[in-house]
Structure 1
Amino acid sequence: MPSALILDCENARLSPDERALFRDADPWGFILFARHCPSAEGVRALCAELRECVGRDAPVFIDQEGGRVARMKAPAFPPHPPMAVFGALWREDPELAKAAARLNARLIGRLVSDLGVDVDCVPMLDVRQPDADKAVIGDRALAEEAGIVAALGRAVMEGLIEGGALAVIKHMPGHGRATVDSHHHLPRVSASREALRAVDFAPFRALKDAAIGMTAHVVYEAFDPQRCGTMSPVIVRDVIRGEIGFDGLLVSDDLKMKALGGPVGARVADCLAAGVDIACCCNFSFAEKVEAVGAARALEGEALARAEAALARRPSSVLRADTRPDYERLAAMIAPAMSA
């Protein structure tokens, strides 16, 4: 059985120590960052090397949102707009906004899947709030209204699948109220249960049929004042699985973030104990990877069934055509929002 981990590597090619660790630990999946994406050929080669290491078609994840969060960067790869562009376009023409969001996601899906990447960590379904920390959410969010976020999020999810990649809905059950960046500090949200249910949870309920979801490193004081969502059985069991009704594969946000304290092994063990299916360990040192591997459990039972069900939804084949006309069409569609 693979271990309940998603891991990355230090550089664009594996070191002998990494190859040995991955071969022995057999992480369920891998994730790429900008340092892994020097060129299309480099991405293909690394994806093949990672899969060869574990001897199976392991899923490879990436954060290719568009805008400032893009691991495959120009000029080596085509740029994509931030997701907020589609929310701005919605104010002018909702149908055009959905069509543009879908086309943009389809192009991203084609880009990453053609290089061996199976899963893109979008759409972000966090409902942006006026007083939220713009560094972590800002123009990454689709909109400030739950209904618009849900509609555009659906378009993004379906577009990615059409392009050949699976989507990840994030950050469950909602990061839009965070007033600090969870990369550096632990956000605490004091909103009432009623407010969270009406706004933050709503887009996730609307897209609860997604194959994969990602947790948030946010404390929701109305539900569990002691533990952040990733580490909270209350949030995972009662909110994500219960109130939202999400039954797909649940992966953690990056466990390296400074929002979390304690040794990395404890972080891995605690999030899995809370009910998260897969622990995502990014930018760990080699020693920390070894610690994470020691703390992780085998992927089995319901978690394994959800992982297999998610991968069974990977698109089997996508027509590979020249995408330049579609990029030109996308540019024309979003022009009103880009100039606003």
Structure 2
Amino acid sequence: AAAELVSQLGNNIEKACQVIFINSQIIAHELSELHITVDCMPVLDLATTVGHQVIGERAYGEVPARVAEFGRAACSGLLNGGVLPVIKHIPGHGRAASDSHVSLPFVQAKWEDLAQTDFLPFRALSDMPMAMTAHVVFTAIDPKRPATTSPLVVADVIRGEIGFEGLLMTDDICMSALEGSPIERAEAALAAGCDVVLHCNGQLNEMIEIADGVGAMAKLSWERAMRAAGYQDERVSPIDLAAAKQELARLLA
């Protein structure tokens, strides 16, 4: 777990970044052997005292600058191994007091406070090729809709305040935080400005319904997907997996 790893390394930030990079590099090369080219990590949500443990140990910590630094190391390791990172859960899930797999969380914080904390790691990594939304309502921005289906959050926060210009995918639309049928959820997310819908329950009939209902990918979304693929191709380099694992073990000893 990210929190356990960071805790184990104490305040040695340089060493922590090195460990995170190598670990992500190993993950990427093992995924590449299976022809998997995208991994939905790292989590850039902040650890908070009010947040639900669904984020919990997946968070790198509570200090935005540190989270950004560790997240950058994870992204670099994945890209080095030929796998695209997906920063998540934009614009931030850390303050959510409930599990969005089960119910819809509400975050009451002011925009100004969020901009100085939760949004910062995402802004620092806004150059990454892909991001995943949070099924969280930010009442100061859009009190009626979660980020995934909110045109206000997507345009004003994710594309605006944070400055993310890459491919934006939803978190799993099968999660209980969202309302409506699968196709209604997909349509709402795409209408809000998401590029790709993530559907994870394995029900083929629902997948077919969504694919038939939403049609082909929008031109701008396709262009973002192509840019993401090019981002990956520029950064791949070979690795000696055995040596990398040995170095990781040494650093963690």
Match of 2:7 among 88, 91, 111: 88
Conserved 8 A contact 2:166-2:224: yes
**Conserved in 2, the CA contact under 8 Å of 1:86 and 1:98?**
no
Asked whether the 8 Å contact 1:103–1:330 carries over to 2, the reply is yes
CA-CA distance at 1:300 after TM superposition:
2.8
Write the mapping of 1:29-44 to structure 2, written as runs, cut at 5 A: none
Is the contact made by 1:209 and 1:246 (CA closer than 8 Å) also made in structure 2?
A: yes
| Separation in structure 1 between the aligned mates of residue 242 and residue 202 of structure 2, nearest angstrom | 37
> For residues 252 and 56 of structure 2, what CA distance do their matches in structure 1 show?
18
Q: How does 1:39-188 map to 2 (within 5 A)?
A: 82-89=1-8, 91-134=10-53, 136-188=54-106
Deviations 1:68-100 (A, max 9, x none): xxxxxxxxxxxxxx1123432453311111111
| More displaced stretch, 167-176 vs 283-292 | 283-292
Q: What SS does the aligned partner of 1:91 have?
A: coil
8 Å Cα contact 2:195/2:218 also seen in 1: no
Cα deviation, residue 327, structure 1: 1.7
The question of whether the paired residues in 2 share the 8 Å contact of 1:172 and 1:240 is answered with yes
Deviation string 1:257-287 (CA, Å, 9 cap, x unpaired) is 0111210010010000000011111114222
TM-score, normalization by structure 2: 0.95
Aligned to 2:128: 210
1:186 is displaced (CA, Å) by 0.8
Larger displacement relative to structure 2 (111-120 or 284-293): 284-293
| Cα deviations by residue, 1:212-236 (Å, 9 ceiling, x for unpaired) | 0110100001100100000000000
> What is the aligned counterpart of 2:156 among 218, 238, 243?
238
> Which structure 1 residue ranges, 5 or more long, are not aligned?
1-81, 336-340
| Identity value in percent | 42
Query: Of the two, which has the highest radius of gyration?
Result: 1
What's the CA shift for 1:192?
A: 1.1
Identify the residue that residue 212 of structure 2 maps to in structure 1. 294
| Separation of aligned partners in 2, 1:116 and 1:333 | 29
Structure 1 counterpart of 2:143, one-letter code:
P
TM-superposition CA deviations, 1:85-135 (whole Å, max 9, x none): 34324533111111111111111111101210001111110011012111x
Cα 1:165–1:127 shift into 2, 3 Å:
same
Deviation per CA, 1:187-240: give whole Å up to 9, x if none.
111111111111100000000000001101000011001000000000001100
- The 3-state SS of whatever aligns with 2:171 is coil
Q: Distance in 2 between matches of 1:127 and 1:205?
A: 13
Q: Please state whether the residue corresponding to 1:194 is helix, strand or coil.
A: helix
Counterparts of 1:203-282 in structure 2, within 5 Å, are 203-282=121-200
- Alpha-carbon deviation of 1:249? 0.6
Q: Structure 2, unaligned stretches of length 5 or more?
A: none
Cα distance, 1:334 vs structure 2: 2.8
| 1:147/1:86 CA distance change after superposition, 3 Å | farther
Q: Which amino acid aligns with 2:133?
A: T
Q: Which of residues 225, 232, 243 is equivalent to 1:307?
A: 225
**Counterpart residue type for residue 198 of structure 1:** Q
- Amino acid across the alignment from 1:260: L
Partners in 2 of 1:263 and 1:101 — Cα distance? 39
* Cα gap change, 1:93 to 1:334, in 2 (>3 Å): same
Question: 1: CA distance between counterparts of 2:192 and 2:9?
Answer: 38
Which amino acid is the alignment partner of residue 157 of structure 2? V
